[in-house]
Amino acid sequence: MRAFEQFPRSGRPLMVKKFGGTSVADVERIRKVARLALESQRAGNDVVVVVSAMSGETNRLLGLAHQMLSRPDARELDVIAATGEQVSTALTSMAIQSEGGQSCSFLGHQLPLRTDSAFTRARIHQVEQERIRKALARGQIAVVAGFQGVDSDDNITTLGRGGSDTTAVALAAALGADVCEIYTDVEGVYTVDPRVCASGRKLKSIPYEEMLELASLGAKVLQVRSVEIAMKYEVPVHVRSTFSEEEGTWVVSREKTFESRVLAGLACERNQARVEISGIEHHPGRVAELMELLAQMNTSVDLLRHCREDVHASLAFTLAEEELLRARPSLEQLVERMGASRVHVSAGLAKVSLVGIGIRSDPWIAARVCRSLARHGIGVSDLAVNELRISGLVEGNHADEALRILHEAFLLAPTDAAEPSAAYAEGGLQ
């Protein structure tokens, strides 16, 4: 995303408030969103509201598309998917007016919010802000459709699942907002999904880097691209509940966090597939061929492993099952060209990850992960470790249990600020 052109500020604090699908699920909830926006404006703030489609609407629209074609064209998918936000944006603007306020709605192409042409997963290049600035100067609340933009050929594009988060943070960065508030159906960022593990604890704050890891590893509270933009432009992000007045979790720079923690939390990516290609000729360019093919399809992989076996080699990697479905025809052509002797695909897996500071430098953490799961008969494979996280694959039907086991083993230690090797090795690895 290119650097944003800065326009003069009004002198009033500026807040961007994003509301997810559950927050605008019906007319009454949309009225609540309108009241929250007006309350903030009447307190002396300029307010920009970003909304997702009403809960379940995007799935309904995509379902219609797949009834028409088993593999719909990505451009047409974006055309139909973007209509969900068009409805909720207009309704939210009307709700603000019904509550005595002034508002103006904007769709992605009306700003415009410029993106590349990677349909269904576009990346933002530029946010035009003149129309929003003018609306705010007129005393209006600007209501913007999340999730959507427009490419250089004026095609409608969408930003991928959770893309309204990215719209909101990009707007906050472009407008120089004082804060971007992400309203959702949970009260903040937790050490683990509280719907899976009841002992999950809400964090008061979390650094951008650790939130980025959690988001990239399956935590659904924020889209990963939104965290990247927030970190790059130092946008303070406040994740909170639409249905509670309690303060949520602040995503900020490390020096502004309120508490010192060794470990931030656990995340899980479900519906993962592992692909292993064996018996290919050993050649330095084989990995490059694979990565270039996946890049052409805008597909990312993880846990990539390249092993040499005499004159032959093997490649293994993981990716989402839906990505495998899309990439499979091209992968089969590549495998045939490589002359592989065997291709093995394992589906129904989950990638479980522990995120924190200095994980690679403390060998007790990896040992504790493996031992804790082994005690409960859960095998873990394809471990990958860096300074901020350790990830491994488990069978999908063991994912929830693995999260609960690891949460108890690590995040419920008496003091989170203790040295990991001391806190986690206490009592030995029995």
Range with lowest mean pLDDT among 69-73, 160-164, 322-326: 322-326
Q: Point out the annotated binding site.
A: 18-21, 58, 85, 184-185, 190, 195, 220-221
In the chain, where are the structural domains located? Answer: 14-257, 271-348, 350-423
Range with lowest mean pLDDT among 34-38, 348-352, 354-358: 354-358
Q: What is the pLDDT of residue 411?
A: 64
152-173 per-position pLDDT tens digit: 999 999 999 999 999 999 999 9
237-248 per-position pLDDT tens digit: 999 999 999 999
Q: Considering the domain delimited by 271-348, tell me its CATH architecture.
A: 2-Layer Sandwich (3.30)
Tell me: pLDDT of 28 over 80: yes
Q: Point out the annotated binding site for ATP.
A: 18-21, 184-185, 190, 195, 220-221
User: Which tokens sit at 331?
Assistant: 């992968």
Mean pLDDT of the chain: 89
**Greater pLDDT, 312 or 53:** 53
Strands lying side by side in the sheet with 237-241 = 103-106, 141-145, 46-51, 14-19, 179-184, 237-241, 249-252, 205-207
Tell me: pLDDT of 415 over 70: no
For the segment 182-189, the average pLDDT, to the nearest whole number, is 93
Q: Point out the annotated binding site for substrate.
A: 58, 85
**Greater pLDDT, 284 or 208:** 208
Q: What is the pLDDT of residue 430?
A: 25
Tell me: pLDDT of 428 over 90: no
How big is the chain, counted in residues? 430
Are the C-beta atoms of 143 and 51 separated by less than 8 Å?
Answer: yes
- CATH number assigned to the domain covering 350-423: 3.30.70.260
Question: What percentage of the chain exceeds 70 in pLDDT?
Answer: 92
- Residue 32 main-chain phi, psi, to 5 deg: -65, -40
**Greater pLDDT, 229 or 331:** 229
- CATH number assigned to the domain covering 14-257: 3.40.1160.10
| Max mean pLDDT range (59-73, 190-204, 283-297) | 59-73
Q: What is the pLDDT of residue 298?
A: 77
pLDDT band (50, 70, 90) for residue 252: very high
Q: What is the pLDDT of residue 225?
A: 96
pLDDT band (50, 70, 90) for residue 288: confident
The answer to whether 14-257 and 350-423 have equal CATH topology is no
Q: What is the pLDDT of residue 67?
A: 96
Question: What percentage of the chain exceeds 90 in pLDDT?
Answer: 68
**Greater pLDDT, 288 or 131:** 131
pLDDT band (50, 70, 90) for residue 420: very low
pTM of the model: 0.85
Range with lowest mean pLDDT among 120-129, 272-281, 285-294, 312-321: 285-294
pLDDT band (50, 70, 90) for residue 282: confident
For the segment 391-402, the average pLDDT, to the nearest whole number, is 96
